[in-house]
Amino acid sequence: MILNSSIPTLKYGYAVLKNVIPTSFVSARASAQYYFLHPSDYKHLHQYPYNLELGYRDLIHKEMFMIRESTLPSELSPCIHLATDLHDISLQCLEAVSKELQWEDHLLSDLVDVDALPSFNIASSILQLIHYRKTNNITHGIACDVHQDISLLTLICHTGVPALEIYDYLNNTDWINIESIQGMHDVIVLVGEALSLISNNYFLPATHRVRAVHQSRLAIIYQLRFKNDAVIDSQLFETSLTKPFKHPFRITGCNYLKMEKSTRQSVNGSY
């Protein structure tokens, strides 16, 4: 459990939450490592239609497993608890965001799923297990090109192999090797395009990339997204800090996601 007062501002796209990693992380990481050691034929049994962002995905330099439901291969069951814990942390981050921008209580929490993994249906948010394979053949030394997430928030657990870089908006000069200052019990929080949109760019979306490293790397990431039936009305988010929106909008969470996916390709291969 973390306190709102301990959450730094996300104004410049990111923050590092100190000593908040849930105890469920250790078993979830071990289960993910074990899963990716399985033969390719076994892992390919867990593939789903590409547009679902669900299950196993085999790419050139990496493989991933995307969790949006509680029905999982048995070895990945500890990840259910981690998804729940990271969801709770992300909700506390939303509370801090609401206080900073003087938004009404529950304005943001009403736009996302109550639970990380609903008992029925597929969750709107997503827990990603990404295994970057050991390789010496990656173009320009980049494993995942420059991008911004379509989420409200993205939470990144400790990898032990620093490779994530975030653009430094504050000094507008260079890239920050953010994982070099992340302790093993810390969680990195990135602002996504969705939060930047509804805050009228008060919160800048984290522009980031992943450098290629010549060793295996496991990234565990939770993306908090709008629930499909959420109604996002720009009028509700106008305060003295956000200012009036130049281009007001009213859109559902489902249509927002469709719009974002139709205008840009996923650089990490999730959709």
pLDDT tens digits in sequence order for the chain, 271 residues long: 565 557 889 999 999 999 999 999 999 999 999 999 999 999 999 999 988 999 999 998 899 999 999 999 999 999 999 999 999 999 999 999 999 999 998 999 999 999 999 888 899 999 999 999 887 666 568 888 899 999 999 999 999 999 999 999 888 778 999 999 999 999 999 999 999 999 999 999 999 999 988 899 999 999 999 999 999 999 999 999 999 999 999 999 999 999 999 988 888 888 8
Predicted confidence at residue 213, as pLDDT, reads 86
Please name every residue paired with 65 in a beta bridge, in sequence order, or none if there are none: 56, 129
Closest of 131, 112, 75 to residue 269, by C-alpha: 131
SS3 182: coil
Using CA atoms, how far apart are residues 171 and 232, in angstroms rounded to an integer?
32
Q: Tell me the two tokens of residue 151.
A: 């989420």
* Domain chopping of the chain, boundaries: 4-263
Q: What is the CATH number of domain 4-263?
A: 2.60.120.330
Predicted confidence at residue 26, as pLDDT, reads 98
> According to DSSP H, which parts of 37-145 are helical?
40-43, 78-101
pTM higher than the cut 0.85: yes
Predicted confidence at residue 140, as pLDDT, reads 64
